[in-house]
Amino acid sequence: MKKAVLISLIALGMSACGDNSQNTTEPQAKPKSMLADQAQQTANATSEEVIVGRVKEVQLNDPLDPEMVARGKAIYEMKCAACHKLTDQRVVGPGFKGVTERRSPIWIMNMIVDPDAMLEKDPVAQELLKECLVRMPNQNLTEADARDVLEFMFFNDGKPVAEK
């Protein structure tokens, strides 16, 4: 494979990752119960997770905050939609469907606000880069912006929203 392809931003216009849903970083389908356990843990299970990046703690809402979801959606449309679909289809980067199940909230937050640190040190992020051949850019979101996008990702994955 030619190195030049790796750094070519022209890849932005092409399907750098294809839409190969059988990619190696996707976890094998797990029984529902395991997924539930995992979701329970992610909120406060930083003990096992090596945190790379500047976000060390994330407070989750259950049910979701509708205003955060709305703000997150607007940010997504402006700054992420060019590379990430809301389905599981890959474009430049992986589709966001299921992202809150395959990654922890802290991992997602750091991938958004501190992608360079993640790509330098986090093995999962590095594996994604190998597949996608494009670096996830730092979009200069504040932590509050990123938190809104995370809320929107949970919404996209079907988590219930509080009534206004």
Footprint of ligand HEC (CB under 6 A): 12, 79-80, 82-84, 92-94, 99, 103, 108, 111-112, 119, 125, 128-129, 132, 134-137, 139, 141, 149
Round to whole Å and give the CA distance between 77 and 79: 6
Residue 117 · residue 156 · CB < 8 Å = no
On the question of a cis peptide bond just before residue 63, with omega within 30 degrees of 0, the verdict is yes
Ramachandran sector of residue 62 (left: φ over 0; alpha: ψ -120 to 50; beta: rest): beta
Q: Closer to ligand HEC by CB, 64 or 83: give it.
A: 83
Give the shortest CB-117-to-ligand HEC separation in angstroms. 12
Closer to ligand HEC by Cβ: residue 86 or 129: 129
Residue nearer to ligand HEC on the CB measure, 69 or 92: 92
The contacts of residue 122 (CB under 8 Å, 6+ apart) are 52, 53, 107, 110
Q: Which is nearer to ligand HEC, 65 or 136 (CB)?
A: 136
Spatial distance between the Cα atoms of 87 and 93, rounded to a whole number of angstroms: 12
Q: How far is the CB of 152 from ligand HEC (least distance, A)?
A: 9
For ligand HEC, the closer of residues 64 and 80 by Cβ is 80
CB of 163 to ligand HEC, least distance (A): 26
Minimum distance from residue 50 beta carbon to ligand HEC (Å): 16
Q: How far is the CB of 19 from ligand HEC (least distance, A)?
A: 13
Exposure pattern of 70-79 as b/e (b: 16+ CB <10 Å)? Answer: ebbbebbeeb
